[in-house]
Structures are given as C-alpha cells and as structure tokens.
Chains A and B, each alone.
Chain A
Amino acid sequence: MWTMIVKEFRQLKRDRRTLALLIVLPVLLLVVFGYAARFDVSKVTTIVVGPQAEAVAGHLHAPFDLVEIDPNGGRSLAESRLQDGTAVVGVVTGQTQIVALMDGTQLFAVEAAESAIDHMAQAAKANGAAVPAITVQILYNPNLTTSWIMIPGLTGLILLFIGTLITSLGIVRERQTGTIEQLAVMPFRPWDVIFGKIVPYLLLAALDLIAIVVIGMVLFGVPFVGNVATFALGALLFLLVTLGMGVLVSTVSQNQGQSIQLAIMFVVPQILLSGLIFPVSSMASGVQWIAYVLPLKYFIDISRGVMLKATPLTALWGPLVVLAGMAIVVLGLAVLRFRRDLAPSARRGRTAEADSKAVAA
C-alpha cells in the first residue's frame, strides 16, 4: 500500500493542474464565495416619482438607495425604470396614496424592501408620527415564485455547460486520438475545422435552449412576455462567448481530464458569482467586480429581462454590447490559438507551400 501511496503522490506532484484544483482553488473559492454568498441585500435601487416625491423620498432610508427623484414623473416612468433594471423599487406618489412598485425578478431585494417598509410603518406607529401608508405592488413575478427567476438563469447555465465543457471535450478528443493532425494536413482551411467543430454544438445548444424554455413555461408556468428575437440575439452572443471559452480550454488541455478540470474552473465561479443564486448587489464590493467580468451575468440580465419583464432591445444594449465584445475577444483568441495547432508551419507568415517555394527559388 505504501508503494501505491508514494506513486500516487509522485503523479500528483507532476500533475500541477490537479494539484492546484485540489489545494489552491478550494481556498480561493472559499474566500471569494464567503464574501459573495449573501442573500441579505443592503442596497435597493429606488426611484421616487409623483407630486410628493421629495417628501416621501425624505422618509426613505437604507436599504433604499435613491437613484432618481422626479416629481413630474408618473407610474409609467417608474415602470420603465423597473423594466430596464435601473431601479428595483419605484415609489409612485399621488395626492392621497403611495404605491411602491417592486421588480419581482429581484427576489431578495424585494423582500428587503418589503421588510423595510413594514419597519417604517411600525416605527411610525410606535412614535405616533404621520408617515403615509405605502401600498406594495409586485410586478413581473407577483407571487415571488423562485422558479420564475431561476429558469431564465438556468438556461444560461445550460448554454454555458454545453458551450464550454462539451465543446472543449469534443476538440480535445481530436487531439488525444491524434486525428487533429490529420485534419491539419487535410485540405481544410483552419476556419473550416474550427467552425466545423463549433457549429454542431451551437445548434445543439440552441435546441437545448428552446427545449428548456418550453419546458420551463409548460411545467413551471414561467412567462415569456418579451421579444423572442431579442432573447435569441442575447443567447447567440452568449453562446459564442461560451463556445470560445470551450475552444480556449481545449487549446490548453492535452486530454479530456484536463479539459474537464479547466472547464469546471470556468463554470463554477459563474454559477455562484453571476447573480444566478446570490444577488450581485449583495456581494462585498471586493468581489462584486468579478460578476461584471462573467458573461453569465449579462445573459441573466437579458433572459430575466426579456422573459419576465418584456425589457425591450433598447434597454438591453448594455449587456448585449458587453457580450458582443466578449464574444469577439474570447472567440478571436480561441480561434488564433486553435489555428496555431492546425497550421503550425503557417506561423510568421510562412505557408506550407512557401516552404517549398523558398527552395524552388
């Protein structure tokens, strides 16, 4: 047994990636997730509109984070701010009553806001102060159903899984079996091979996406109130990013085991830090920035926005542009690296035929 243990440690010592996965990653994840894994929301972005906006805003303290006060605005302005994600709470003041519109897709923020309004009312009652009663009205997800929020996010997670893990496995299998060398010698252009490998996974992921959305709607009653084309555009851009990550992972992996390890390193942080489970706004500021470099965060913004809030394309240009930028950078890098595997003699501008011409000349 001792011989086996020694052999295993020797192998582990040489497999630095596994060693990192076993030692460094858990410590790193614990620290990062420790700061990120919070359900308590300390800031709820709020807009106050209507004739009494200034007066009501004066009564709103933490967790309400006032981003806009507009006495001339009405319910439609508040709703549009909720729809485009600028605010989670829209307080609409009238002459006699005050309505707090809340974005039901922000489960924990809404719970924090409701609780704060209750506390305000109780405190006012205890002090005998005259604080106007606020009626809460939850939009987009009136019953705060968890599955309505999770399923749009899960579509992204599944696209991430297929795009990164399955694609990298498919490409690494070619390298592991040596067939990638044959492909490189066959009369394919590098682009033919790269897109020939990517397109099947793109189509597969698209089919999966449709299936997940339909199943989510049928089984869990998740609404799809927005524009399908906007959703499809967001999904396509996100898929291109994930496919690019898959190709990148494959270019630095020699076998399928390594590619699974690396893909896990890409996927796990996205599950926990992209706002799928824990709200980005509740994360400690030190780790919050991580969410903003993860593509899943932007796809979740798009999928929740389109499916639940009918957020229009014009209000989603931010996440769409970020995803498009990420797609260009990640896919571009991936293609360059993969191309190097497929056309090594073409580097530094020398083609295979140029080798020959050099001699002929």
Chain B
Amino acid sequence: MTWGLEDASVVFGSRTALDHLTLPVEPSTVSICVGGDGAGKSTLLRAIVGLVRLSSGAARRPQKKDIGYIPATAGLYIDLTVDENVAFCAGAYGVRGRELTCRSTEMLERIGLADARTRLGGQLSGGMQRKLAVGMALLHRPAMLVLDEPTTGVDPVSRAELWRLISGAAAEGSAVVVATTYVDEAHRASTVVLLEQGRSIAVGSPSDIIAAVPGTLGVVESTEQPQGLSWRRGKTWRVWAPSLDLPPGAESLQPDFEDAVMIAALADEQKIEIDGCAC
C-alpha cells in the first residue's frame, strides 16, 4: 500500500464513525468510496488527509504539499474572484510567477472559466464552483487528490467534465480518492469501497465486487413486489436469493455493479459474508 488507511477506526464519543477500515490508495488510480448519507465517507477522507485522529489503525499519506483536498462543503472562497482564489491556492503550495500564470491559464481554459477570471466565486453556478475547486486542487499537481462528493448537486454535463478532470489527474500519476453517493460513478474506479455505518461492506475493483456477489439474482416482470428480498429497477423487479433458489416466476440474471451494491447492502443486513471481499 502506497497510501490510504489500514484497519483504521475513528470513534466520536460513543459513536463509531469508521470501523476497522482498510483502503489502499495507489498512484495513477482512482479509488471511490460509495455510501449513503452518514455512511462515513467524509470521515474516511478526513482520516486519510489527517483531519481526524484515528482511534486505532494507521493512515499513510504524502506530505501536505503533495495533497490536494476538497471538503464536501467548500472548495473556494465565494467572496474572492476566480483569479484571487487561484492565486491564494497556488501561493499556499508555492506555485508563483510564470509557473502560476501558465498553470492557471491552462487550468481555467480546461474547465471553461477563462472568461470568468474576474467573477466572484459566489457568482459562479454550483457546477462551475466545483470545477474551479477541483482545478485549484490540481494546480500544484498533487501526488494524492482527495475529493469529497465533488459531483453532488452538479448537472450531468458538469459531472462528466468533472470526471474528465479527475481521470486526467489519475492518468498524470495522482492517487485519487473520491467519495460519492452516485453508484454509477463507481465504474470509473480501480478500487471501490462500499460503506455502511462506518463499516466496509465490500471492497475491491468493480468487477471483483460483481464477481463476489453471493446467492442468486433474478428479474421479475410484475407490477407487484415479488416475495423475498427484492427492489425495483426500471420497469422490473430484482430478486435476490442468498441461496441458489429463486422464487417462482423469477429469471436468473447476471448482476451489474448497481445490483452488486444492492446485494452487498442486503447481504450486510442478512449478515452474509461476501467471498473475496472485505466485509
């Protein structure tokens, strides 16, 4: 493991926010942490960058000058212009003079904000703000980039642009860790950790997680919810049987990643261990 968490726990009072979690973070890869609200995604990222102290376990991270981090709530100063935000961020990492001019011009052109240099951060749309925040976090070419829900509340076009930036950073050698609530973003990762109440219910590559799905998945075309463990997906129902026996009327189906996430959550509820995945 180059960076990341190893058997890390974070306890706030009587509440365990992270429970013996391991997440390797390697250069040139994207690791994604998927989970619902309160699952512990932000705590995981904050533990990686050193914002929360671990109760047990260990965290590996590069020096601060090699980290780029955006919390879920911010990323820029709304009362500074785009140029002023970039200059502050660059100055903090020692990027100055010609280097700053070159990098900021290139970055602002890449994120489509070259004509908005004098606009206040608060006057930008939500998507533009997040793109600028990610651009600024990349400006010093960090060895590790940690982004907390960078695409939440962002329109689909901006989401795609943001992911282009994030993937580009990984392609240039950064180790990227992203927290998201969007399951469909997980296929972009080389490592995915599924979080539930601070616990990892599955970790591995998307294909590993799909391959490790226990039991049998079926599909039922019906208006009524079938018996057993089922959930709606489009016009059909998915039914999951922890054993090999599907209920009558269900056709067997190969799970995709979204199915795998649902099954992992159900298996966690049913206390069923998923082979090959750290649960």
Residue numbers of A with Cβ under 8 A of B are 177-179, 181-182, 184-188, 343-345, 347-348, 350, 352-353, 355-356, 358-360
Of A181, A347, A359, the contact of B53 (CB 8 Å cutoff): A347
Residues in A with CB closer than 8 Å to B64 are 185-187, 352
> Do the beta carbons of B69 and A185 come within 8 Å of each other?
yes
Residues in A with CB closer than 8 Å to B78 are 177
> Do the beta carbons of A356 and B92 come within 8 Å of each other?
no
Of B73, B74, B92, the contact of A186 (CB 8 Å cutoff): B92
Of B6, B50, B67, B75, the contact of A345 (CB 8 Å cutoff): B50
> Do the beta carbons of B52 and A344 come within 8 Å of each other?
yes
> Do the beta carbons of B70 and A187 come within 8 Å of each other?
no
| Chain A interface helix/strand/loop/mixed | helix
Q: Which 9 pairs from chain A and chain B are nearest by CB?
A: A178-B73, A178-B74, A352-B50, A359-B58, A345-B50, A187-B64, A187-B65, A185-B69, A356-B60
Residues in B with CB closer than 8 Å to A182 are 69-71, 74-75
Interface residues of B in 59-84 (CB under 8 A from A): 59-61, 63-65, 67, 69-78
Q: Does B54 contact A (CB under 8 A)?
A: yes
Q: Does B93 contact A (CB under 8 A)?
A: yes
Residues in B with CB closer than 8 Å to A345 are 50-54, 59
Q: Does B49 contact A (CB under 8 A)?
A: yes
Residues in B with CB closer than 8 Å to A356 are 3, 58-61
A25 to chain B, nearest CB (A): 29
| Chain B interface helix/strand/loop/mixed | loop
Interface residues of B in 85-117 (CB under 8 A from A): 92-94
B177 to chain A, nearest CB (A): 13
Interface residues of B in 221-250 (CB under 8 A from A): none
28 A-B pairs with CB atoms under 8 Å apart are A177-B73, A177-B77, A177-B78, A178-B71, A181-B69, A182-B70, A184-B51, A185-B51, A185-B64, A185-B69, A186-B64, A186-B92, A187-B93, A344-B51, A345-B51, A345-B52, A345-B53, A345-B54, A348-B53, A352-B61, A352-B64, A355-B59, A356-B58, A356-B60, A356-B61, A358-B58, A359-B58, A359-B60
Residues in A with CB closer than 8 Å to B93 are 186-187
> Do the beta carbons of B58 and A185 come within 8 Å of each other?
no
A185 to B67, CA, bound (A): 8
A218 to B204, CA, bound (A): 75
Residues in B with CB closer than 8 Å to A358 are 58
Residues in A with CB closer than 8 Å to B71 are 178, 181-182
**Most chain B CB atoms below 10 A, which of A177, A178, A181, A347:** A181
> Do the beta carbons of B60 and A179 come within 8 Å of each other?
no
Residues in A with CB closer than 8 Å to B52 are 344-345
A175 to B6, CA, bound (A): 29
Of A181, A350, A353, the contact of B51 (CB 8 Å cutoff): A181
Residues in B with CB closer than 8 Å to A360 are 60
Residue of A nearest to B146 (CB): A185
Residue of A nearest to B65 (CB): A187
A167 to B64, CA, bound (A): 27
A84 to chain B, nearest CB (A): 48
**Most chain B CB atoms below 10 A, which of A182, A345, A347:** A182
Residues in B with CB closer than 8 Å to A343 are 50
Contact with A along B23-64 (1 / 0, CB 8 A): 000000000000000000000001001111110001111011
A253 to chain B, nearest CB (A): 17
A358 to B8, CA, bound (A): 13
B134 to chain A, nearest CB (A): 13
A360 to B60, CA, bound (A): 8
A341 to chain B, nearest CB (A): 10
A107 to B6, CA, bound (A): 71
Residues in B with CB closer than 8 Å to A178 are 71-74
Residues in A with CB closer than 8 Å to B65 are 187
**Most chain B CB atoms below 10 A, which of A177, A184, A186:** A186
> Do the beta carbons of B51 and A187 come within 8 Å of each other?
no
> Do the beta carbons of B50 and A185 come within 8 Å of each other?
yes
Of B53, B67, B75, B77, the contact of A350 (CB 8 Å cutoff): B53
A190 to chain B, nearest CB (A): 12
Residues in A with CB closer than 8 Å to B6 are 359
B133 to chain A, nearest CB (A): 9
A353 to chain B, nearest CB (A): 7
Residue of B nearest to A359 (CB): B58
A350 to B56, CA, bound (A): 13
Residues in A with CB closer than 8 Å to B94 are 187
A343 to B51, CA, bound (A): 7
A359 to B59, CA, bound (A): 7
Task: List 12 additional A-B contacts (Cβ < 8 Å) besides A182-B74, A345-B54, A356-B60.
Answer: A177-B74, A179-B74, A182-B71, A182-B75, A184-B51, A188-B92, A343-B50, A355-B54, A356-B3, A356-B61, A358-B58, A359-B1
